Structure 1
Amino acid sequence: MSKVITQDNEQVIQIYNRLKDTLTRLEDILKNNNPTFNGHRYMNDAELANYLKVSRRTLQEYRNNGILSYYQIGGKILYRESDIEELLEKNRQEAFR
C-alpha cells in the first residue's frame, strides 16, 4: 500500500524550512556582496562609516588629514578594503597588563 505524502508531513516541513533558511542566507549574501574590480573590493562612505563605527564627517576629516586613501569619481568617494585593512593593522596597539 502506497503512502501519500502531504504538506503536513514532518519530512516535507523540514525540507521546506531548510530551503527557506538557505534562501534567506543567499539573499543576505547577495545584499551584502560587494563585487570586486581587479581583485579589489571597494566601500562607499556609508559602508565604511558603519564598518568603523564613525560618522561620515569623521571619514571626511581622515581624508582631509591624509589618514585615509580614497578614490573620487565625480562626487562619489570610494575606499579600497585592502587599504582600510592595512591602515587598521598599521595602527594596531598590542594589549598590555
Structure 2
Amino acid sequence: MEIVCIDKQTFEELRVRFCKLEEKVGRLCRPEEDFGLKNWLDNQDVCEILRISKKTLQVYRDKGILPFSRIKHKIFFKPEDVQKLLESNYHHLKREL
C-alpha cells in the first residue's frame, strides 16, 4: 500500500470539491425531487384509471369536467384532478332501515 501525504489546505480543497460533486450526483439520482413533473398522467394513463375511452376523455376535456395541460399535441393531467373527479362523483350507499 502506498501512502501519500498532502498538506492540510490541499486536503480541504479536495474535500470541498468532493462534497460539491456528491451534491450534484445526489441531485441527479434523486427521482422523488422532480417538482411533481413525473406525476403528470397522459391520455392513456387516465383512460386506464377511469376505464373510459379516449373519446369520452376528450368530452371531459371539452366540457371542462377534467382540467388538463397541453404541450403541442400532447395532453397531460394532474393525478389529483383525476382523484377529485372520482371523489366528486362518489355516491354513498343508502342504508335501508
Aligned match of 2:72 in 71, 74, 82? Answer: 74
RMSD, matched Cα = 1.8
Identity of aligned residues (%): 32
Whether contact under 8 Å (1:70, 1:80) holds in the other structure is: yes
Larger radius of gyration: 2
Aligned match of 1:92 in 80, 90, 93? Answer: 90
SS in 1 for 2:67: coil
5 Å matches for 1:1-97? 37-39=34-36, 41-97=39-95
> What TM-score results when the alignment is normalised by the length of structure 1?
0.58
**Given the superposition, is the C-alpha separation of residues 88 and 74 from structure 1 closer, same or farther in structure 2, using an over 3 Å criterion?**
same
Q: How many residues align?
A: 63
| Deviation of 1:37 (Å) | 4.3
**Given the superposition, is the C-alpha separation of residues 85 and 68 from structure 1 closer, same or farther in structure 2, using an over 3 Å criterion?**
same
> What TM-score results when the alignment is normalised by the length of structure 2?
0.58
Residue ranges of structure 2 left out of the alignment (5+ in a row): 1-31
User: Within 1, Cα distance between the matches of 2:78 and 2:90?
Assistant: 19
